[in-house]
């Protein structure tokens, strides 16, 4: 079955590269219906010219090799693996002149079959949109708002969750994890001359990707984001991916501020399935603390060069919380750091894409716990990553290799890890 899948994909890719790739342009007059394949962007089915509508069918496959070495000062352990990092199929639709949008994304490598499912309605001359369903949330850092196929560093991840950390660095591994959440989203935009402003609000389940899962003794997660683009809009989704994939002709800058408040968060990062235990209220009933995140980030791009900076802070809030059901031992901030990911992190990464599609990439991440104690979930970490990528056929084919050096500083000593990834990604 796996060989058949690979053969089918390869055959489709060879055939499709011989087609005349046409960029999808709303300003071009269309006939009643068209069927267009665009390298790196999938297949567009356009129909209707009075109230234009379209479907985009997009698939992505990424396979890779990883070599790791961990040294705790006493022993060195090495490991290797071959994996399918990404096998994904998505269909998005725009109807009635982009007033109604919807999408569904299926993932075949992770823990859930349906990764995204949402419907959106635009109004107020398309300057406002309300979206219901499960999708990329805007209450995380900037690079968590893009699909995994746009990752600067290729490696294995699990259904929108940066569980191994290599793809997105230590910031997302320690404070984000799941990048998709189910709920209601409100997005709007307006301009002051060329200055673009994007306010966003959301109310989600706080259970990460478990949109339809029952919530145990929890409440909702409230969040928002404000993006400012003083030099005008970026091309396409270029404001939320690490590379300057579309080569901005003029200097572009995006500055974002985001935050969320998860009432009674049962997940240590505030956006996943239940993994927090041992907290009780006055009556001895199991309960949880409130989890808060604050994010500041920026992105600067021009002519193939990209610079991204992100800062995130995670804290908790709660009163009358105890660590025993007799309600005699109060939950201290230090003890709470053993149950929730509290602390701060910043991430800085840069890249440059040459006109032939060759890219070089750098990243540095620093993670600091709120309390420097042995049992804290968050521990001091420094991440150093270097990578190279080759984009072929407008990102339809991407080959990348990267290596990361990670320095973990524990009270009991230091542990270092080298991780090297080689991956090939095909989008069709």
Average pLDDT, the chain: 88
**Residues 246-263 pLDDT 10s:** 999 999 999 999 999 999
Which tens digit of pLDDT belongs to each residue from 64-114? Answer: 999 999 998 889 999 999 989 999 999 999 998 889 999 999 988 877 788
Q: Both tokens of residue 306?
A: 């990209």
Q: How far is CA 284 from CA 220, 248, 275, 331, 333, in A?
A: 22, 58, 19, 13, 19
Cβ contact 64:83 at 8 Å:
yes
The whole-number pLDDT of residue 165 equals 65
378: its two tokens: 């968050």
171: left (phi over 0), alpha (psi -120 to 50) or beta: alpha
Q: Is the pLDDT of residue 424 over 70?
A: yes
- Give Dmax over CA atoms of the chain in angstroms: 74
- pLDDT at residue 284, rounded to an integer: 92
Label residue 109 exposed, middle or buried (CB < 10 Å: 0-12, 13-18, 19+).
Answer: middle
CA angle, residues 360, 254, 290, in degrees to nearest 5: 105
Q: How far is 382 from 407, CA to CA, in rounded Å?
A: 5
Which residue from 238, 177, 168, 175 is spatially nearest to 385, judged by alpha carbons? 168
Strand partners, 298: 255, 309
Tens digits of per-residue pLDDT, 405-421? 999 998 778 999 999 99
C-alpha angle 82-87-90 in degrees, rounded to nearest 5: 165
**Cα angle for residues 25, 29, 30 (degrees, 5° grid):** 90
Residue 13 pLDDT more than 80? no
- Residue 181, pLDDT above cutoff 80: yes
Q: Which residue in 245, 247, 239, 165 sits closest to 425, CA to CA? A: 245
Per the confidence metrics, is the pTM higher than 0.75?
A: yes
* pLDDT at residue 11 in the model: 37
Give CA–CA dist 137/201, Å, rounded.
10
């Amino acid at each position: 079955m796996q060989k058949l899948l690979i053969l089918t994909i390869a055959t489709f890719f060879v055939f499709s590269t011989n087609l005349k790739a046409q960029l999808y342009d709303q300003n071009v007059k269309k006939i009643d219906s068209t069927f267009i394949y665009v390298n790196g962007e999938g297949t567009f089915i356009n129909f209707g010219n009075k109230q234009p509508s379209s479907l985009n069918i997009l698939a992505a496959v990424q396979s890779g090799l990883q070599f790791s070495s961990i040294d705790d000062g006493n022993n060195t352990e090495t490991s290797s693996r071959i994996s399918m990092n990404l096998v994904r199929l998505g269909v998005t639709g725009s109807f009635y002149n982009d007033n109604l949008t919807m999408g569904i994304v299926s993932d075949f490598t992770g823990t859930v079959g349906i990764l995204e499912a949402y419907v959106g309605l635009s109004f107020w001359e398309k300057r406002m949109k309300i979206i219901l369903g499960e999708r990329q949330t805007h209450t995380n850092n900037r690079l968590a708002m893009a699909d995994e196929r746009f990752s600067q560093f290729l490696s294995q991840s699990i259904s929108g969750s940066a569980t191994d950390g290599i793809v997105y660095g230590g910031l997302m591994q320690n404070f984000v994890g799941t990048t998709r959440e189910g709920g209601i989203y409100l997005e709007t935009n307006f301009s002051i001359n060329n200055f673009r402003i994007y306010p966003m609000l959301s109310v989600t389940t706080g259970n990460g990707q478990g949109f339809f899962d029952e919530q145990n003794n929890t409440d909702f997660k409230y969040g928002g984001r404000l993006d400012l683009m003083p030099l005008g809009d970026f091309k396409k989704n270029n404001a939320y991916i690490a590379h300057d994939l579309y080569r901005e002709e003029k200097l572009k800058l995006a500055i974002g501020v985001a935050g969320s408040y998860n009432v009674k968060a049962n997940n240590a990062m505030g956006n996943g399935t239940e993994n927090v235990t041992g907290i009780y209220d006055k009556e001895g009933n199991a309960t949880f603390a409130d989890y808060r995140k604050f994010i500041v980030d920026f992105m600067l791009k021009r002519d193939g060069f990209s610079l991204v900076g992100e800062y995130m802070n995670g804290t908790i809030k709660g009163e009358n919380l105890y660590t025993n059901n007799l309600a005699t031992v109060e939950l201290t901030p230090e003890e709470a750091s053993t149950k929730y990911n509290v602390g701060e992190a910043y991430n800085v990464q840069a890249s440059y894409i040459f006109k032939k599609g060759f890219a070089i990439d750098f990243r540095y991440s620093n993670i600091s716990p709120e309390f420097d104690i042995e049992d804290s979930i968050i521990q001091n970490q420094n991440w150093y990553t270097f990578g190279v990528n080759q984009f072929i056929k407008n990102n339809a084919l991407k080959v990348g290799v990267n290596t990361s050096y990670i320095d973990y500083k524990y009270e009991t000593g230091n542990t270092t890890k080298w991780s090297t990834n080689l991956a090939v990604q095909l989008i069709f």
